[in-house]
Amino acid sequence: MNTRGLAYIALLSWIAFLVAILGCGEKKPIDIGFMAGLTGRVADLGVPGRNAALLAVEQCNAAGGIHGRPVHLMVRDDGQDAATAKKMVSELIDRKVEVIVGPMTSSMAVATIDQANASSTLMVSPTVTTTALSDRDDNFVRVLDDTSAYARKSASYQIEALGHRKAVAIYDLCNKEYTESWFQEFQKNYEALGGSFLRTRTYDSSADNVFTGMVGELLSAKPDMILIIASAVDAARICQQVRKIDTTVSIATSEWAATERFIELAGSASEKVCMAQFLNRNDTSARYQSFCQAYLERYGHTPGFAGVAAYDATRVVLEALARRQRGKSLKETIIAIGEFQGLQQRIPIDHFGDAQRATYLAEVRDGQYWTLE
């Protein structure tokens, strides 16, 4: 062989050596998506959700990642707008993201589920609870019960524990996939137990609303309780109007309002407001307290229910990625695993991707949420 041939072989050998060395270096990251409303009226869900998801990913990477590969979270803001949410999902699908943690509101999930179903991308939602996505074989998994669990618990408490048999309600149509589902489930259970609805009003939070007239009309019916199904921002404003007119009528909200932002904005009008939710804020377990401390040190504020749910959802995704067998989809893996350890309780997930969790009643006392049972 001539000198040129030897030089060519030497060059190929050197290239192969470099490839081998580089291959032993940092492995390609695993990209997962995160989508929520990070701005606007629902940011009190989206921001803690994003923060908790990032914390879960950071902890995973600190422990070596997934089979030695680091995880990268690609964050998108849906702005609680259907068109924006569809654009963000398209971006993540185009980036070949296999899974999106999110969305965090039911309306955004319903708006984008067809995109997920038309692709191989799975959505794993922390906080979407609409019954419109229950019992469906689709590219959607969640880590909470649907609205029926919370509405049923709340209706039972109002009737059986408090004796409130005359109700009025107000709810936001901007997230109607959630609010209408919640109201219908509450009404069904409330009336089955002997209660009745005197009046119901709806509004659209995408427009400017002055709640004085709506609240006055509802309270003129002389109800025992008023049910508010709205975001924390709107629920706080409605509660303030209620207390200007009536200081004694009972107020109940759906779990959507039960963020720390609600108490901050409503002030004294939040006192004795009750709601059913999955989060036991009195939990003293080491797992939950360790998470809360790590979150507080990292971000300077408490995670709330949105942070807990997003951490659980992200951990479900990370565990499924780590345990997946060759040839299996991520949803198939999640369903095969069947049950995951959450921060406060184990989370069974059925063959449709729907979850079951214990539900608690909470009440605001002295400016803090307090679990009643």
Residue ending a domain, choose from 248, 277, 306? 277
Judge if 136 and 159 occupy the same domain.
no
Q: What angle do CA 251, 43, 146 make, to 5 degrees?
A: 60
Tokens of 116: 């997920």
Query: What is the domain extent for residue 342?
Result: 30-145+284-358
**Per-residue model confidence as pLDDT tens digits over 143-174:** 999 999 999 999 999 999 999 999 999 999 99
Statement to judge: residues 122 and 164 lie in one domain: no
Predicted pLDDT at 27: 85
Domain count, the chain: 2
**Residue 23 belongs to a domain:** no
**Cβ-Cβ contacts under 8 Å for 257 (sequence gap 6 or more):** 228, 230, 231, 232, 234, 235, 236, 275
Euclidean distance between CA atoms 110 and 353, whole angstroms? 15
Q: How far is CA 241 from CA 37, 247, 287, in A?
A: 27, 10, 39
Same domain? 73 vs 115: yes
CA dist 60 and 299 (Å) reads 18
**pLDDT score for 25:** 55
Pair (34, 77) in one structural domain: yes
pLDDT value for 11:
42
Q: What is the DSSP string of 275-288?
A: EEES--TT---HHH
- CA dihedral of residues 210, 216, 219, 220 (deg, nearest 10): -150
Same domain, 259 and 158: yes
For the cut 80, the answer to whether the pLDDT of residue 16 exceeds it is: no
**Confidence category of residue 7, pLDDT binned at 50, 70, 90:** very low
| Residue 70 contacts residue 92 (beta carbons within 8 Å) | no
Q: Where does a domain end: 277, 309, 338?
A: 277
- Let me know if residue 304 belongs to a domain: yes
| CATH number, domain with residue 185 | 3.40.50.2300
The pLDDT confidence band at residue 202, using thresholds 50, 70 and 90, is very high
Is 369 contained in some domain? no
> Which pLDDT score, from 0 to 100, does residue 51 have?
98
- Domain membership of residue 308 (yes or no) is yes
pLDDT digits (tens, 9 = 90+) for 37-79: 999 889 999 999 999 999 999 999 999 999 999 999 999 999 9
> pLDDT at position 289, please?
97
Q: Is residue 13 part of a domain?
A: no
pLDDT digits (tens, 9 = 90+) for 271-316: 999 999 999 988 999 999 999 999 999 999 999 999 999 999 999 9
pLDDT on residue 208 = 82
Tokens of 267: 């002030």
What's the whole-model pTM score?
A: 0.90
Both 341 and 254 in one domain: the answer is no
Domain co-membership, 122 together with 157: no
In this structure, the answer to whether residues 164 and 210 fall within a common structural domain is yes
Q: Which phi and psi angles does 215 have, rounded to 5°?
A: -65, -40
Does 319 share its domain with 348?
A: yes
**Do the domain assignments include residue 206?**
yes
Residue 58 lies in a domain: yes
Same domain, 138 and 234: no
| 6 belongs to a structural domain | no
DSSP alpha helix (H) spans, the chain: 3-23, 43-62, 82-94, 106-117, 147-156, 176-192, 212-219, 232-245, 260-266, 286-299, 304-323, 330-337
Last residue within a domain, chosen from 277, 293, 322: 277
Q: Which of 312, 318, 303 is nearest to 355 (CA)?
A: 312
The answer to whether residues 164 and 270 belong to one domain is yes
Residues 127 and 223 in one domain: no
The H or E element containing residue 357 is none
User: What band does 17 get if pLDDT is binned at 50, 70 and 90?
Assistant: very low
What mean pLDDT, rounded, does the chain reach?
93
Given 3-state DSSP classes, what are the helix, strand and coil percentages for the chain, each rounded to the nearest 5?
50, 20, 30
Q: How far is CA 85 from CA 15, 88, 238, 353, in A?
A: 45, 5, 28, 22
Q: What tokens does 139 get?
A: 């590219």
